Amino acid sequence: MVSFDNTEVAFQSKTNKDLRRAYWLFKIIASPTFVKLGKFFTNLALNIGLPIRKPVKATIFKQFCGGETIDECAETIIHLGSYQVGTILDYSVEGKTSDEDFDKTVDIIISTIDRAKNDSNIPFAVFKVTGIARFDLLEKASNKHHKFTDKEQKEIQIIINRIDKIAKAAFDAKVPLFIDAEETWIQDAIDTWTFEMMLKYNKEEAIVYNTLQMYRHDRMEFLKDCCELAKKNGVFYGVKLVRGAYMEKERERAKNLNYPSPIQPNKNATDFDYNAALKFIVKHADVFALCAGSHNEESSLILTKLMEENTISPDNKHFYFAQLLGMSDHISYNLSHAGFQVAKYVPFGPVKEVMPYLLRRADENTSVAGQTGRELSLIMRELDRRKSN
């Protein structure tokens, strides 16, 4: 039975200095007012060129990111690996709009795949389709009533070619690849293209993984449909299971455009479907490969029990747990200590360009009830334990 209460194991990789930095960061993040002010002044300072890169890099960037380049992430990869925790290199630059930028991003993602090849410390690669495609085109591609112009059809084909180029690189390198989930109004196209990649590259093992956000009330049915589709086509279905990241935005858009919200009515419904999805995937372990991306202790424990009940070994490479770098170490390190397959999402990219990602993380920590308080109490407990020893 895994316990998440062991702070000695949870923070074994952290020095006292690391813990104190994390304590003050989470203390600041716990205040919505501080987060709002911090976002405003950070954006202002970056836009007018104030020299804040160094302090940002030494604090929030150091807590949640591996470095500005793949090479800069080497220390983090080795450090996590020494505790049997894998690294998922996540190029976290957002908001690009030109084809030149999109092609450059494709090259960087393929570089993360090359870096992962033959390195057991990097079990997966990952990318977001919005990092390599214009949002408005993804919206049109997800709208079944949209009539495409010839120009749009060519542009859509370019997006599919980019996805295929990345997926083929992952297949050739034998590096499983997550395609992240995004907003509901662009997700249908992403789901379709992701399955097309599975048909090409998942015949012998799960290389391409789709991401399911279980705060959507339709995803449990979608998961069952995916299982049937995978069986029918003789492919493995890779799933990264998460709760979701765009809840407020989704509800607001549904309200403004007067359509039914795609989001679960409450957190209990999301939790129920997330745990039901875990059970369904374990039951159909002959079809699925799973990465449970969760900062939820209960769901993590449920998966460990399901694996035990179904005689799935903790070191089975088709069942991974994942958390973000700098968060929920009590889950990651205690699972790893118990022999389970665990990885951390390690964002990287130039400080200025990764700031939108970091500020969103700060927002999420503020809005997720209990997340920041839990991090703080665990850090304080470990600092007290170290003092008394």
In this predicted structure, what is the pLDDT of residue 178? 98
Q: Are residues 118 and 23 located together in one domain of the fold?
A: no
> Which amino acid, 154?
K
Q: Are residues 368 and 285 located together in one domain of the fold?
A: no
Other residues' Cβ atoms within 10 Å of the Cβ of residue 360 = 14
Which helix or strand (DSSP H or E) is residue 127 part of?
strand 124-127
Condensed to tens digits (0 to 9), the pLDDT of residues 338-352 reads 999 999 999 999 988
Contact of 351 with 323, CB cutoff 8 Å: no
**Mean pLDDT of the region 329-333:** 97
> Which amino acid, 131?
G
In angstroms, rounded to a whole number, what is the distance separating the alpha carbons of residues 361 and 41? 16
Q: For 121, list phi and psi in degrees, rounded to 5.
A: -80, -10
In this predicted structure, what is the pLDDT of residue 361? 67
Q: Are residues 289 and 140 located together in one domain of the fold?
A: yes
In this predicted structure, what is the pLDDT of residue 353? 85
Q: Are residues 360 and 312 located together in one domain of the fold?
A: no
Cβ neighbors of 259 (< 8 A, separation 6 or more) are none
Does residue 288 carry a pLDDT above 90? yes
In angstroms, rounded to a whole number, what is the distance separating the alpha carbons of residues 86 and 317? 12
Burial class (CB in 10 A: 0-12, 13-18, 19+), 234: exposed
In angstroms, rounded to a whole number, what is the distance separating the alpha carbons of residues 196 and 145? 21
Domain that holds residue 237: 68-348
DSSP state of 138: H
DSSP 27-63: HHHT-HHHHHHHHHHHHHHHHTT-S-HHHHHHTHHHH
In angstroms, rounded to a whole number, what is the distance separating the alpha carbons of residues 133 and 161? 11
Instruction: Work out the pLDDT band at 28, boundaries 50, 70, 90.
Output: confident
**Mean pLDDT of the region 310-326:** 96
Q: Are residues 6 and 152 located together in one domain of the fold?
A: no
Q: For 122, list phi and psi in degrees, rounded to 5.
A: -125, 90
Q: Are residues 164 and 249 located together in one domain of the fold?
A: yes
C-alpha dihedral sign at 95, 101, 104, 106: positive
In this predicted structure, what is the pLDDT of residue 199? 98
Q: Are residues 194 and 239 located together in one domain of the fold?
A: yes
Q: Is 210 helix (H, G, I), strand (E, B) or coil?
A: strand
In this predicted structure, what is the pLDDT of residue 380? 93
Condensed to tens digits (0 to 9), the pLDDT of residues 222-246 reads 999 999 999 999 999 999 999 987 8
In angstroms, rounded to a whole number, what is the distance separating the alpha carbons of residues 14 and 386? 12
In angstroms, rounded to a whole number, what is the distance separating the alpha carbons of residues 265 and 372? 23
Instruction: Work out the pLDDT band at 330, boundaries 50, 70, 90.
Output: very high
Q: Are residues 168 and 117 located together in one domain of the fold?
A: yes
Report the alpha-carbon angle 120-126-128, nearest 5. 175
**Mean pLDDT of the region 369-373:** 70
In this predicted structure, what is the pLDDT of residue 362? 66
Q: Are residues 203 and 77 located together in one domain of the fold?
A: yes
Other residues' Cβ atoms within 10 Å of the Cβ of residue 17 = 8
Q: What is the CA radius of gyration of the chain?
A: 21
In angstroms, rounded to a whole number, what is the distance separating the alpha carbons of residues 385 and 377? 12
Q: 206: domain CATH number?
A: 3.20.20.220
Q: Are residues 250 and 298 located together in one domain of the fold?
A: yes
Q: Are residues 360 and 329 located together in one domain of the fold?
A: no
Tally of structural domains, the chain = 2
- For strand 288-293 and strand 237-242, is the pairing parallel, antiparallel, or unpaired? parallel
According to DSSP, the residues that pair with 263 across neighbouring strands are 216
Contact of 172 with 209, CB cutoff 8 Å: no
> Would you tell me the crossing angle of helices 297-309 and 267-283 to the nearest 10 degrees?
20
Length of the chain: 389
Q: For 344, list phi and psi in degrees, rounded to 5.
A: -110, 135
- The distance from CA 212 to its chain's CA centroid, rounded to whole angstroms, is 11
In angstroms, rounded to a whole number, what is the distance separating the alpha carbons of residues 372 and 26? 6
Q: Are residues 55 and 95 located together in one domain of the fold?
A: no
